[in-house]
Structure 1
């Protein structure tokens, strides 16, 4: 495994796939989950029937953004890890075949 080009290609492909999956699947649920967490935090601080004040809205908005960021992080890092592992396996298989052919050539 002298060159690790397959690892890099797998990493980039996995990151791209994770980004696409995040855009299709993870954006809306991340926002919803972050919003619910923000509502629970703001409800715990200011009381359950929340008023239309600025601070509870800011808490909910910031938690929605954090929910989106965490969902994006999970999808992109997960996709990158899966792509890197696939590249590693492909590289190991190629390197194993090269060793097998080198050993066969030495024994002749």
Structure 2
């Protein structure tokens, strides 16, 4: 399979998305997921939530889900942006490759 710029830039975009997630998304994802878990535990056990094992497990699962969803959004969006940029570069580079020897490109 021919390596295209779009494939390479999608991997690069995923890596940049992972780095941005580590810098900007880890803490907010954990916080929002924890609040979601606290609301779920509050609706099950009543408010205020007592510090029981099951309530803590629900809150931790909410935090984990929040981090996983935030990470997925950052990584997938970075990969898609990189892939789209690669498609544009591939489309611009393709006409230059198709020119025959001695043929001049058209002026637009």
Q: Same fold by TM (over 0.5)?
A: yes
| 1:4 Cα offset (Å) | 4.1
| 1:8 Cα offset (Å) | 1.4
What 5-or-longer segments of structure 2 have no aligned partner? none
Deviations 1:45-95 (A, max 9, x none): 000101010111000000100100000000000000000111111001000
> TM-score, normalising length from structure 2?
0.88
- State the distance in 1 between where 2:95 and 2:89 align: 10
When the two structures are aligned, how many residues end up with a matched partner?
Answer: 104
Partner of 1:105: 103
- State the distance in 1 between where 2:47 and 2:95 align: 62
| 1:98 Cα offset (Å) | 2.9
> TM-score, normalising length from structure 1?
0.88
| 1:7 Cα offset (Å) | 1.3
